[in-house]
């Protein structure tokens, strides 16, 4: 069974919040066929610790407003790989070099990608 519509909506909320804080390369992977505890892994990159923390704060705020309750948060102390578990959606915020090293996309390459809404990181035109 593919990811639920609710999970897809929450992944979009988290991705939008992350890109508003200049997260890079947002990818949503449908892991529902492989894992019993989550439907989607959302993976985003941060340039440094400070940006990773800002992304985490923005995602947490947006998910709270969307009514998603966090089950756990890990890795914020060093902010190299922060994991935010919202049951249906697990958000991974990794610094770019750690994302490349761990290669989560390679590990889950046999799972389908979930299309995300247009996530423009360019400033709005006036």
Residue extents of the structural domains in the chain: 5-107
Q: What is the pLDDT of residues 87-109, one digit of tens each?
A: 999 999 999 999 999 999 999 99
Looking at residue 119, what is its pLDDT? 62
Q: What is the pLDDT of residues 17-34, one digit of tens each?
A: 999 999 999 999 999 999
Looking at residue 118, what is its pLDDT? 72
| CATH architecture of the region 5-107 | 2-Layer Sandwich (3.30)
Answer positive or negative: Cα dihedral of 114, 84, 23, 14: positive
């Amino acid at each position: 069974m593919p990811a639920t519509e609710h999970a897809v909506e929450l992944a979009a909320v988290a991705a939008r919040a992350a890109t508003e804080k200049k997260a890079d390369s947002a990818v949503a992977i449908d892991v529902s066929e492989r894992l019993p505890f989550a439907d989607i892994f959302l993976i985003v990159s941060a340039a440094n610790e400070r940006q990773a923390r800002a992304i985490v704060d923005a995602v947490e705020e947006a998910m709270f407003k969307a009514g998603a309750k966090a089950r756990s948060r890990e890795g914020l102390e060093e902010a190299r790989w922060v994991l935010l578990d919202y049951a249906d959606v697990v958000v991974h915020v990794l610094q770019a070099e750690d994302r490349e090293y761990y290669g989560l996309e390679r590990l889950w390459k046999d799972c389908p990608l979930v299309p995300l809404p247009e996530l423009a990181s360019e400033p709005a035109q006036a």
